Amino acid sequence: MKNIVTGTDMKKVDSYTINTIGIPSLVLMERAALSVAEIVCKNQLKDKKILVVAGVGNNGADGVAICRILHLKGYNTELYILGDISKASTEFKQQLSIAHNIGINIVGDYNDADVIIDSIFGVGLSRNVEGVYKDVILKINKGRNFVYSVDIPSGVSADTGKICGVAVKANCTVTFGSYKIGTVLYPGAEYCGQVVVADIGFPQEAYEQIEEQVKTATLEDFNFIPPRPNYSNKGTYGKILIIAGSKDISGAAVLCAEAAFRVGAGLVRVFTAEQNRQIIQRLLPEAMVNTYDVHHFNMKSLEACLKWCDVVAIGPGIGTGVIQKNMIEKVLEYNLPTVIDADGINNISEDERLKKKLHKNVVITPHLGEMSRFLNIPVEEIASNLIKYGREVNYKYNINCILKDARTVITTEQETFVNLSGNSGMATAGSGDVLTGIVAALIGIGVEFNNATVLAPYIHGLAGDKAMEYVSKTSMMATDIIEGIKILFKGMR
Ligand SMILES: NC(=O)C1=CN([C@@H]2O[C@H](COP(=O)(O)OP(=O)(O)OC[C@H]3O[C@@H](n4cnc5c(N)ncnc54)[C@H](OP(=O)(O)O)[C@@H]3O)[C@@H](O)[C@H]2O)[C@@H](O)CC1
Ligand SMILES: Nc1ncnc2c1ncn2[C@@H]1O[C@H](COP(=O)(O)OP(=O)(O)O)[C@@H](O)[C@H]1O
Ligand SMILES: [K+]
């Protein structure tokens, strides 16, 4: 797991590192500046003209130090300072004094260059960007230069990813210590270009001072998956019940069940409408199929399935109505690890009685529309504050939530995560059904419930990224993501 921090929390990390651990501010700053300079040197030839645009806070101080390092390496650099120097931070004044002593060329106007280093505002951005700052940022964005942003593109809120009026559109952002929320959540993430996290020496202890930590999964988290011993059988790897599909929808069940198999589930049983039996058996002969008749629904057959399984996923393509609500009620009575997706969520949203039956072994996987219905809050409001509303589900209902979007936010009882894998090719029908199958299968194969909730979107995204090895984002379909799961695990163990 890696930390993702708000700007406010990053200041706490800075301050703890400087004041409690005792690493001097200028030491951190030198490492920060060196990390940016190193990346610039690696990618830019010496004949390139580099303009450093610096504010007068510590982000600007980083910029002045970067300008000095590049100048000493023989680059043609200029420094343009934006803001009132009499109000500059101590570190800025120190850096500027060094720059003067070394003979850095300081210019009075913004002029174009091959490379721009944007160090106007970092995590200290505190209000909307206006006036001369706005004008310069617009000029940077109009130019054809290669833009590096220091810590975060100036104008992006490090706390939320919102654009404070206007923001620099960078080609590359070198962010210090850890991802900032503003570099991972949209729209800010779109302004960053490639994001490089530079280790400048903040100790993990400093991150532990943060009260509400946000993290992201990393490859190390595959260790949550238990090994597959030789002495095992299909029963070892979970009995997964998937309640999906309806008279007119069969694909959802197939995608969900196949994804579960590809993540390693031992046994998968689909409970679906009678009309789907043949097609599912033909498309996925490995799955067991039990069916119901909408006109004579028999709860006993669902109960038998629930008694059989270790984990249940309900919702993809089931439709909404009385039968569906009764099925959900029955599922919730069994207190099993339960994944609720799509129409599963929509049915619950319509029925306060079902909401009351949600229990702590439930994870819901809503997209923004489903989340909007579930919380009765407009989509735009949820989109602008994914973490807040993800957490709200947890506080209100004591269930886990995978809030799916271009950046999926995961909230468990204790923790909050943002998933960083995946790509826009995954915005395709059935992609969410694949995710549902992955969550259920991970629980089935023995991954602890909270860990499965976090790992599933990560695996789903990595599978989408793997799918790009043979299909473009444009052509990607949900079946390609399943193909991607195969490639992913082939490369893993
Ligand atoms: N040792 C450390 O601490 C380390 C810190 N590091 C670096 O420091 C950065 C944080 O520095 P920071 O806290 O000084 O804030 P910063 O981002 O420079 O912004 C404050 C300045 O911007 C101004 N300002 C803000 N909003 C504005 C607006 N809308 N419009 C106009 N002005 C506005 C504000 O002005 P004021 O509000 O005072 O009028 C003030 O001048 C961090 O991102 C990283 O790069 C690294 O080197 C690692 C070690
Ligand atoms: N731009 C994107 N980048 C990364 N992942 C995306 C993007 N758009 C959608 N996704 C992922 O694709 C899946 C879509 O799920 P969902 O909307 O439920 O699809 P469906 O209902 O058709 O199965 C989610 O896991 C979501 O996070
Ligand atoms: K910046």
pLDDT score of 315 more than 70 = yes
What confidence score (pLDDT) does residue 235 get?
Answer: 87
On whether both 209 and 247 belong to a single domain, the answer is no
Q: How far is 430 from 118, CA to CA, in rounded Å?
A: 41
List pLDDT tens digits, range 165-191. Answer: 999 999 999 999 999 999 999 999 999
Structural domain of residue 175, as residue ranges?
A: 2-216
- Kindly report the protein residue whose alpha carbon is nearest to atom 7 of ligand 2: 406
List pLDDT tens digits, range 471-482. Answer: 999 999 999 999
3-class DSSP state of 371: helix
Give the end of a domain, one of 216, 240, 263: 216
Mutate to test the pocket of ligand 1, among 9, 10, 18, 59 (most ligand atoms within 8 A of CB): 59
On whether both 41 and 151 belong to a single domain, the answer is yes
On whether both 394 and 420 belong to a single domain, the answer is yes
Residues at CB less than 6 angstroms from ligand 2 = 342, 367, 404-406, 408, 422-424, 426-427, 429-433, 435, 460
356 is in an annotated binding site: no
What confidence score (pLDDT) does residue 318 get?
Answer: 97
What confidence score (pLDDT) does residue 491 get?
Answer: 86
Cβ-contact 101, 76 below 8 angstroms: no
- Kindly report the protein residue whose alpha carbon is nearest to atom 26 of ligand 1: 125
Write the DSSP string, 262-322: HTT-SEEEEEEEGGGHHHHHHH-TTSEEEEE-GGG--HHHHHHHHHH-SEEEE-TT--SSH
What's the start-to-end Cα distance of the chain, in Å?
A: 20
- Which ligand has an atom closest to residue 433 CA? 2
Q: Is 62 in the pocket of ligand 1 (CB under 6 A)?
A: yes
**Average pLDDT of the segment spanning 31-49:** 97
What confidence score (pLDDT) does residue 492 get?
Answer: 83
- Helix-, strand-, coil-residue percentages of the chain, each rounded to 5: 50, 15, 35
Interval between CA 419 and ligand 2 midpoint (Å):
12
Q: How far is 457 from 367, CA to CA, in rounded Å?
A: 13
Cα torsion through 401, 405, 408, 414, rounded to 10:
-30
Give the end of a domain, one of 216, 234, 263: 216
**Average pLDDT of the segment spanning 367-372:** 98
User: Which ipTM was obtained for this model?
Assistant: 0.96
Q: Is 32 in the pocket of ligand 1 (CB under 6 A)?
A: yes
Q: Pick 235 or 131 by higher pLDDT.
A: 131
What CATH number is given to the structural domain containing 355?
A: 3.40.1190.20
* Cα–Cα nearest to 360, from 310, 304, 413: 413
On whether both 67 and 175 belong to a single domain, the answer is yes
- Kindly report the protein residue whose alpha carbon is nearest to atom 35 of ligand 1: 57
**Average pLDDT of the segment spanning 416-427:** 98
What confidence score (pLDDT) does residue 267 get?
Answer: 97
Give the end of a domain, one of 172, 196, 216: 216
Cβ-contact 7, 36 below 8 angstroms: no
Q: Is 198 in the pocket of ligand 1 (CB under 6 A)?
A: no
pLDDT score of 493 more than 90 = no
List pLDDT tens digits, range 112-122. Answer: 899 999 999 99
List pLDDT tens digits, range 149-169. Answer: 999 999 999 999 999 999 999
pLDDT score of 352 more than 80 = yes
pLDDT score of 145 more than 70 = yes
- Kindly report the protein residue whose alpha carbon is nearest to atom 18 of ligand 2: 432
Mutate to test the pocket of ligand 2, among 379, 382, 401, 405 (most ligand atoms within 8 A of CB): 405
Number of domains in the chain: 2
Interval between CA 384 and ligand 1 midpoint (Å):
24
On whether both 148 and 272 belong to a single domain, the answer is no
- Which ligand has an atom closest to residue 476 CA? 2
β pairing state of 409-411 and 416-418: antiparallel
Q: Is 28 in the pocket of ligand 1 (CB under 6 A)?
A: yes
* E-assigned strand segments in 145-294: 146-150, 172-176, 179-180, 194-198, 214-216, 239-243, 267-273, 288-292
pLDDT score of 50 more than 80 = yes
Q: Is 151 in the pocket of ligand 1 (CB under 6 A)?
A: yes
On whether both 156 and 226 belong to a single domain, the answer is no
pLDDT score of 264 more than 80 = yes
On whether both 355 and 383 belong to a single domain, the answer is yes
On whether both 122 and 243 belong to a single domain, the answer is no
- Which ligand has an atom closest to residue 481 CA? 2
Enter the tokens of residue 212: 């509400």
On whether both 318 and 295 belong to a single domain, the answer is yes
On whether both 274 and 197 belong to a single domain, the answer is no
Q: Is 133 in the pocket of ligand 1 (CB under 6 A)?
A: yes
On whether both 61 and 87 belong to a single domain, the answer is yes
**Average pLDDT of the segment spanning 99-109:** 97
- Kindly report the protein residue whose alpha carbon is nearest to atom 22 of ligand 2: 429
Sign, CA torsion 205/207/213/218: negative
pLDDT bucket at 414, cuts 50 / 70 / 90: confident
Q: In ligand 2, which atom is closest to the CA atom of 419?
A: 27
On whether both 242 and 95 belong to a single domain, the answer is no
